[in-house]
Chain A
Amino acid sequence: MLRPRIIPSLLIHNQGLVKTTAFAAPKYVGDPINAVRIFNDKEVDELSVFDIDATVTGRPPDYGLIQRLAAECRMPLCYGGGVTTEAQFGEIVSLGVEKVAVSAAAIADPGLVTRAAAMVGGQSVVVVLDVKRRQGGYEVFTHNGRTATGLDAVETARRMADAGAGELVINAIDQDGAMQGYDQTLVAAVRAAVTVPLTILGGCGSLAHMAGLFRDHGTIGAAAGSLFVFKGVYRAVLINYPARADRDALVAGARS
Chain B
Amino acid sequence: MIAIVDYGLGNVQAIANIYQRLNITVRRASTPAELAGADRFILPGVGAFDWAMTRLNDSGMREPLDAAVRAGQLVLGICVGMQMMGEGSDEGHLPGLGWVPGRVRRLTAPPGSVLPLPHMGWNDVSARPGGLFEKLEAPPRFYFLHSYYFEPTHQADVLATAEYPRPFAAAVQRDQVLGVQFHPEKSHGWGIQLLRNFAEAPC
Partner of A124, one of B13, B47, B164: B47
CB distance from A63 to the nearest CB of B (A): 13
Category for how many chain B residues contact A: 35 or more
Q: How long is the Cα–Cα vector from A53 to B185 in the complex, in angstroms?
A: 29
| Given contact pairs A2-B123, A74-B188, A75-B186, A120 touches B46 in the complex (Cβ within 8 A) | yes
CB distance from A107 to the nearest CB of B (A): 22
A45 touches B122 (CB 8 A): yes
- Chain A residue nearest in CB terms to B49: A121
Contacts of B12 in A (CB 8 A): 96
A18-47 residues with Cβ-Cβ distance < 8 A to B are 43, 45-46
B90-146 residues with Cβ-Cβ distance < 8 A to A are 91, 114-124, 141, 143-146
Q: How long is the Cα–Cα vector from A71 to B91 in the complex, in angstroms?
A: 28
Interface of B is mostly: mixed
A1 touches B13 (CB 8 A): no
CB distance from B153 to the nearest CB of A (A): 24
B121 touches A5 (CB 8 A): yes
Q: Any chain B CB within 8 A of the CB of A93? A: yes
A98 touches B186 (CB 8 A): yes
Q: Any chain A CB within 8 A of the CB of B9? A: yes
Contacts of A122 in B (CB 8 A): 117-118, 147
Partner of A1, one of B17, B51, B116, B123: B123
Q: Any chain A CB within 8 A of the CB of B183? A: yes
- Chain A residue nearest in CB terms to B143: A76
In this complex, the member of A1, A2, A46, A71 whose beta carbon has the largest number of chain B beta carbons within 10 angstroms is A2
B17 touches A123 (CB 8 A): no
Q: Any chain A CB within 8 A of the CB of B36? A: no
B51 touches A119 (CB 8 A): yes
With A5-B121, A123-B146, A166-B120 already in contact, 18 other A-B pairs whose C-beta atoms are closer than 8 Å: A3-B121, A3-B122, A4-B121, A45-B121, A46-B121, A70-B11, A71-B17, A73-B186, A74-B17, A75-B188, A76-B186, A94-B8, A98-B11, A98-B145, A98-B183, A98-B186, A118-B48, A121-B147
Interface residues of A (CB under 8 A from B): 1-5, 43, 45-46, 67, 70-76, 90, 93-94, 96, 98-99, 117-124, 166-167, 195-197, 219, 221
